[in-house]
């Protein structure tokens, strides 16, 4: 059974002036000066992004995940390594926020649980206790988990919290369970929910859309008293999009860009999966600190197994589905071809021009005369919509 649940995998754009354009000398052609003045006056038509790469310093020392982040925004958080859970030794918790506004994209840490029909084990490990790093608690559906776990644990610090609307997301559950392994006696269940909430934070009325998936694996165990069922279940893929009330929908395209571009590094993921297998099979009793994880990871092969690659691809599909659900009422994103990295990249729709430079920055603009090369010491290349 595989249940390597550590990341989801992924904010509104920061509106910036046109690449520090300034008046040119008389040697500059008049046409360029005219274009420069036009571009400088249309700041609202411009958005810039840059690839953000998170390096797993505690573990592999290499990139764990990446995504496109609006230039000027702030990343806080990262991977959290756990020494008591062999099935989930790492999880992610981070925010991507606008320092000049209230918009924020957040990934919450996965919440691992376990349950059993074995009354003897429940007497030893009652509800609320920990069993191999998992909290003992009866399984819930996604809506119950949202109300009883996600909101109380992650939004208890706000005031006047109210749920405006909530509902199931069956398509998200279907995508999350697409690659579930079929084993004799194994019972799998996937459920997904979302909630729109409002609350007051630092005197500002906020609204937020939160997603969560519940994944559960139950399997029979033969005991002297008969067959009992043990269940490992996790609340994961906990994403949220937040902004001041009335402004959240305006941020949708950029939230979607961040989520679509979010990608777990497949080489990091391959090593992580192998570490989980190693811990579960034999060595969890010998693991006492994060340094042990790091040493073990350094010994694991970089060769990616086919089943690990399929699992990685499935996680990317779940991230895409969350983005699609949140932005289903708008045009969303357009796909462009990046001539520098020679790959497709998705950027907010509704813009006529898109450019990229060798530093991994992207800029989109509605101004047909805008050229980021003017007044810049960087080399920008225009991208073609696909």
Rounded-to-integer distance, Cα 307 and Cα 291, Å: 27
Q: Specify if 21 maps to a domain.
A: no
Residue 223's pLDDT band (boundaries 50, 70, 90)?
confident
Percent of the chain with pLDDT over 90: 35
266-282: average pLDDT: 78
For residue 166, list its beta bridge partners.
195
Residue 281 tokens read as 């099979």
Which of 122-126, 149-153, 206-210, 335-339 comes out lowest in average pLDDT? 335-339
Greater pLDDT, 281 or 323: 281
Report the domain count for the chain: 1
| Coil/strand/helix, residue 210 | strand
Does residue 110 contact residue 133 with C-beta atoms inside 8 Å?
no
Q: Specify if 12 maps to a domain.
A: no
Greater pLDDT, 306 or 342: 342
Beta-strand pair 111-116/134-136: parallel
Which of 24-33, 100-109, 136-145, 373-382 comes out lowest in average pLDDT? 24-33
Owning domain of residue 297:
30-385
Percent of the chain with pLDDT over 70: 73
Tell which residue, 357, 332, 328, 359, has the closest CA to residue 346.
332
Strands (E), the chain: 46-55, 63-70, 74-81, 90-97, 104-107, 111-116, 130-131, 134-136, 159-168, 187-201, 204-223, 226-244, 263-264, 333-338, 343-348, 353-357, 361-365, 380-382, 384-385
Residue 181 tokens read as 């392994």
For residue 242, list its beta bridge partners.
104, 208
Q: How many CB atoms lie within 10 A of CB 166?
A: 15
Q: How many CB atoms lie within 10 A of CB 152?
A: 11
Q: Specify if 19 maps to a domain.
A: no
Q: Specify if 16 maps to a domain.
A: no
Per-residue model confidence as pLDDT tens digits over 107-143? 999 999 999 998 888 999 999 999 888 899 999 999 9
Count the helices and strands in the chain (H runs, E runs): 9, 19
Q: What is the pTM of this model?
A: 0.73
Q: Specify if 25 maps to a domain.
A: no
Residue listed under structure tokens 């109380």: 152
At residue 213, does pLDDT exceed 50? yes
Query: What is the residue-averaged pLDDT of the chain?
Result: 78
339-368: average pLDDT: 85
Range among 163-177, 203-217, 359-373 rated most confident: 203-217
For residue 105, list its beta bridge partners.
96, 241
Residue 329's pLDDT band (boundaries 50, 70, 90)?
very low
At residue 276, does pLDDT exceed 90? no
At residue 33, does pLDDT exceed 80? no
């Amino acid at each position: 059974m595989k249940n390597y649940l550590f990341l989801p995998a992924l904010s509104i754009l920061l509106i910036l002036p046109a690449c520090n354009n300034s008046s040119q000398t008389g040697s500059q052609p008049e046409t360029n000066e005219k274009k420069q003045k036009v571009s400088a006056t249309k700041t609202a038509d411009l958005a810039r992004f840059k690839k953000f790469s998170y390096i797993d310093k505690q573990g592999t020392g290499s990139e764990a995940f990446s995504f496109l982040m609006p230039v000027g925004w702030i990343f806080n958080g990262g991977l959290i390594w756990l020494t008591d859970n062999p099935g989930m030794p790492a999880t992610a918790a981070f925010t991507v926020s606008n320092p000049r506004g209230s918009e924020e994209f957040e990934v919450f840490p996965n919440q691992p649980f376990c349950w059993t029909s074995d009354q003897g084990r429940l007497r030893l490990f009652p509800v609320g206790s920990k069993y191999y790093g998992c909290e003992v608690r009866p399984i819930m559906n996604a809506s119950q988990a949202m109300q009883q776990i996600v909101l109380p644990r992650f939004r208890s610090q706000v005031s006047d919290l109210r749920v405006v609307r909530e509902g199931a997301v069956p398509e998200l559950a279907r995508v999350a369970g697409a690659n579930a392994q079929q084993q004799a006696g194994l019972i799998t269940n996937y459920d997904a929910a979302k909630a729109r909430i409002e609350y007051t934070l630092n005197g500002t009325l906020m609204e937020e859309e939160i997603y969560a998936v519940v994944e559960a694996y139950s399997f029979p165990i033969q005991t002297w008293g008969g067959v009992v069922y043990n269940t490992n279940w996790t609340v994961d893929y906990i994403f949220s999009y937040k902004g001041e009330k009335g402004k959240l929908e305006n941020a949708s395209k950029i939230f979607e860009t961040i989520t679509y571009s979010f990608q777990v590094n497949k080489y990091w993921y391959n090593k992580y999966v192998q570490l989980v297998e190693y811990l579960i099979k034999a060595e969890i009793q010998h693991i006492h600190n994060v340094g042990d994880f790091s040493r073990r990871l350094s010994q694991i092969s970089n060769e990616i197994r086919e089943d690990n690659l399929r699992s990685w691809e499935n996680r990317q599909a779940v991230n895409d589905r969350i983005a699609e659900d949140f932005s289903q009422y708008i045009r969303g994103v357009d796909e462009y071809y990046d001539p520098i990295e020679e790959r497709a990249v998705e950027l907010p729709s509704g813009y006529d021009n898109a450019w990229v430079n060798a530093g991994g920055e992207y800029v989109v603009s509605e101004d047909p005369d805008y050229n980021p090369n003017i007044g810049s010491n960087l080399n920008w290349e225009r991208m073609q919509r696909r």
